[in-house]
Amino acid sequence: MGSFFHAFFEDARVQTLLVLIALDLALGVVAAVKLGNFRLSFVGDFARNDLLGKVVPFAFIYAAYKYAGSVDLVIPGLDMEVVMDGVWAIVLAALVGSLLGSLKDLGLQQLPAPLAGDDPATPPR
């Protein structure tokens, strides 16, 4: 089990996700304080949505990749590495969208709502 965690946290994809999550948390808190609507419950929502909703499922997919490796799934050429890379791309896109939304809230970035709109999982303000 220790070797899994070591491999997981040494992976560049995981390190990228963790840096983006930390940056997203920091920018989100700064944006909420600036807008005057900071609530501590937002930090809990962030932990639930971003850590439990993105990193933990990615960790399970990563574990399946480490276990199954390059064994084809139902479709030839579709192995757990392909699935893991796809899940990573989706999680990365979600985090970048959240970061762009925080930048928009800070007034640093003027982007259209499809790129930097409100997070549907965030409670109403």
Query: What is the tens place of the pLDDT at every residue in 26-85?
Result: 988 998 898 888 888 888 888 888 888 888 888 888 888 888 767 666 677 778 888 888
> Would you kindly state where each structural domain of the chain is located, as residue ranges?
2-116
Residues 31 and 42: beta-carbon distance below 8 Å = no
Q: Which residue has the higher pLDDT, 87 or 80?
A: 87
Q: Please say if the pLDDT value at position 124 is more than 60.
A: no
Q: Quote the pTM value.
A: 0.75
HEC per residue, 49-115: HHHHHHHHHHHHHHHHHHHHCCCECCCCCCEHHHHHHHHHHHHHHHHHHHHHHHHHHHCCCCCCHHH
Q: Which residue has the higher pLDDT, 60 or 112?
A: 60
Contacts of 67 (CB under 8 A, 6+ apart): 80
**SS3 call for 47:** helix
Write down the mean pLDDT value for the chain.
81
Query: What is the pLDDT, as a whole number, of residue 23?
Result: 93
Q: What is the percentage of the chain residues whose pLDDT exceeds 90?
A: 9
Largest CA distance in the chain: 53
